[in-house]
Amino acid sequence: MGQVFLDITMSLDGFVAGPNVGVANPLGEGGKRLHDWLFLGAADASGVDRRVAEELFTGTGAFVMGRRMFDVGIGEWGDDGAFGVPVFVLTHRAGAPVVKGPTTFHFVTGGIANAVGLAAEAAGEGTVGLVGGAEADRQALAAGLVDELRVHVATFLLGAGTRLFEGGGWGHVELERTRVVESPFATHLRYRVVR
Amino acid sequence: MGQVFLDITMSLDGFVAGPNVGVANPLGEGGKRLHDWLFLGAADASGVDRRVAEELFTGTGAFVMGRRMFDVGIGEWGDDGAFGVPVFVLTHRAGAPVVKGPTTFHFVTGGIANAVGLAAEAAGEGTVGLVGGAEADRQALAAGLVDELRVHVATFLLGAGTRLFEGGGWGHVELERTRVVESPFATHLRYRVVR
């Protein structure tokens, strides 16, 4: 089974979205700035942000996300669904798959381990990418399903919002930092989970 | 007036101490590992952790800390008081200064701006270092008194405890990352506060 990575952007004060996330404001108040590295940084084709942005897809055979992320994101992702491989959406409401060009969104009601398992099966030799939101990511981390953390630390304090690391449950996790890449917009950190 | 820096070590999940901080356990349960970079990393005289550890004192003319940090730390800091320059302790209880060799601890009841002001006066051309705990640091940040953040991100998830960035109050703060230094134990980040 391929490796499972968790890919998340947070402000230096730990927020992955600002307050009042909604369809009109998918990253909450002030949260759009979290993705400056993706939209401003990665616009420079020769820059490190572009390279890091592309890595989200390189070798990734399937993605897992939470229902809320799907709900607020699907309008933004365009006709091709942005991901290009199967996406497994963790939800309490069953539903028929949503097909957007090469991207099919499957709804999974069996819990995070089930979602990651189905994603791993679909991914084959490829990796599985956990791409949020915070609750789904946290559940995966708490269940010991994550092999690698890719944390993009945006270069500002957001002040308020949703955290990835909130409420506990993941406990003490040993890490080995495997890479640091710097851009003006973010510090891109990679860690291997040590078991 | 010299620059004011805030120097803090936190786990990747944002904790600056584990649960149940006390005299017997100054960094809380599991929190001692936060300082592995200081005690294991800096033991190597040629290593980057040693260099970063020494920077806490280089050019620093005075320190500011919270009362709780003083209470739990003073037994650990030995006969010379560890800091070697005046330390201003933010407290609600006035008291006579505590002299430990070259280090004098002054108790300040006039609030964080007063403590930083007195420290700046004592520091002259030197910088002022805010060294915790979280509450004092947060108050300084919220009051706009901090010019530089020095954040040492320890290479593990602590899972629970006290955060620096908890409860809000500091709001949106623009930063410019000025340096990244990597050791196996921590990623040492420096940011300038952009006003």
Neighbours of B97 (CB within 10 A): 11
Which residues face B175 on adjacent strands?
Answer: B193
B179 in contact with chain A, both atoms CB, cutoff 8 A: no
Q: Is the Cβ–Cβ distance between B173 and B28 less than 8 Å?
A: no
Q: What is the pLDDT of residue B22?
A: 85
Predicted pLDDT of residue B98: 97
Mutate to test the interface with A, among B15, B157, B189 (most CBs of A within 10 A): B157
Tell me which of B16, B34, B156 to substitute to probe the interface with A (most A C-beta atoms closer than 10 Å). B156
**Alpha-carbon gap: B172 to the closest alpha carbon of chain A (Å):** 5
- B157–A168: do the CB atoms touch at under 8 Å? no
For range B30-56, the mean pLDDT: 94
Residue of B30, B170, B187 with shortest CB distance to A189: B187
Longest alpha-carbon distance in chain B: 42
Q: Which amino acid is at A183?
A: S
CB B187 within 8 A of CB B155: yes
- CA distances to B67, B132, B142 from A42, in Å: 45, 36, 32
Q: Does A13 touch chain B (CB under 8 A)?
A: yes
Interface probe for B, chosen from A150, A176, A177 (most Cβ of B below 10 Å), is A177
Indicate the pLDDT class of residue B46, thresholds 50, 70 and 90.
confident
Residue B160: its chain A contacts at CB < 8 A?
A: 168, 171
Among the partner residues B155, B164, B171, nearest to A175 by beta-carbon distance: B155
Q: What percent of chain B has pLDDT over 70?
A: 99
**Separation of alpha carbons A183 and A42, rounded Å:** 10
Q: Which of B151, B159, B174 sits opposite A156 (nearest CB)?
A: B174
Q: Does B158 touch chain A (CB under 8 A)?
A: yes
Percentage helix, strand, coil for chain B under 3-state DSSP, each rounded to 5: 25, 35, 40
DSSP-assigned states of every residue in A98-130 = EEETTEEEEEE-S-HHHHHHHHHHHHTTSEEEE
- Write out pLDDT tens, residues B6-42: 999 999 999 999 999 988 888 999 999 999 999 999 9
User: Which residue among A155, A159, A182 places its CB closest to the CB of B170?
Assistant: A159
Q: Which chain B residues are closer than 8 Å to A158 by Cβ?
A: 172
% of chain A residues with pLDDT over 70: 99
Q: How many CB atoms lie within 10 A of CB A10?
A: 24
ipTM above 0.90, yes or no: yes
User: Quick check: helix, strand or coil at residue B34?
Assistant: helix
Instruction: For residue A53, give Cα distances in angstroms to A47, A58, A123, B176.
Output: 10, 9, 20, 21
Q: What is the pLDDT of residues A49-93, one digit of tens each?
A: 999 999 999 999 999 999 999 999 999 899 999 999 999 999 999
User: Do residue A155 and residue B177 have CB atoms under 8 angstroms apart?
Assistant: yes
Q: How confident is the model at residue A2 (pLDDT cuts 50, 70, 90)?
A: confident
Whether A189 shows a pLDDT value over 90: the answer reads: yes
- End-to-end, the C-alpha distance of chain B in Å comes to 17
- How many contacts, defined by CB atoms under 8 Å, are there between A and B? 88
Among B14, B176, B189, select the one facing A14 at the smallest CB separation. B14
pLDDT at B1: 65
Strands A4-11 and A127-130: parallel
Q: Smallest Cβ distance to A180: which of B164, B172, B182?
A: B182
How many angstroms separate the CA of residue A150 from the nearest CA in chain B?
Answer: 11
Q: Is the pLDDT of residue B172 over 90?
A: yes
CB A136 within 8 A of CB A70: no
> Hey, is the C-beta of B14 within 8 angstroms of any chain A C-beta?
yes
Residue A105: band (very low, low, confident or very high) from pLDDT cuts 50, 70, 90: very high
The C-alpha of B21 sits at a distance from chain A's nearest C-alpha, in angstroms, of 17
The matching CATH number, chosen from 3.40.50.300, 3.90.1150.10, 3.40.190.170, 3.40.430.10, for A4-194 is 3.40.430.10
pLDDT class of A1 with cuts at 50, 70, 90: low
Collect all residues of chain B within an 8 Å Cβ-Cβ radius of residue A164: 13
Q: In Å, how far is B66's CA from the nearest CA of chain A?
A: 20
Q: Do B159 and A180 touch (CB under 8 A)?
A: no
Could you report the per-residue pLDDT of B123-141, keeping only the tens digit for each? Answer: 999 999 999 999 999 999 9
- The Cα–Cα gap between B155 and B58 comes to 25
Could you report the per-residue pLDDT of B81-138, keeping only the tens digit for each? 999 999 999 999 999 999 999 999 999 999 999 999 999 999 999 999 999 999 999 9
What pTM was computed for the model? 0.96
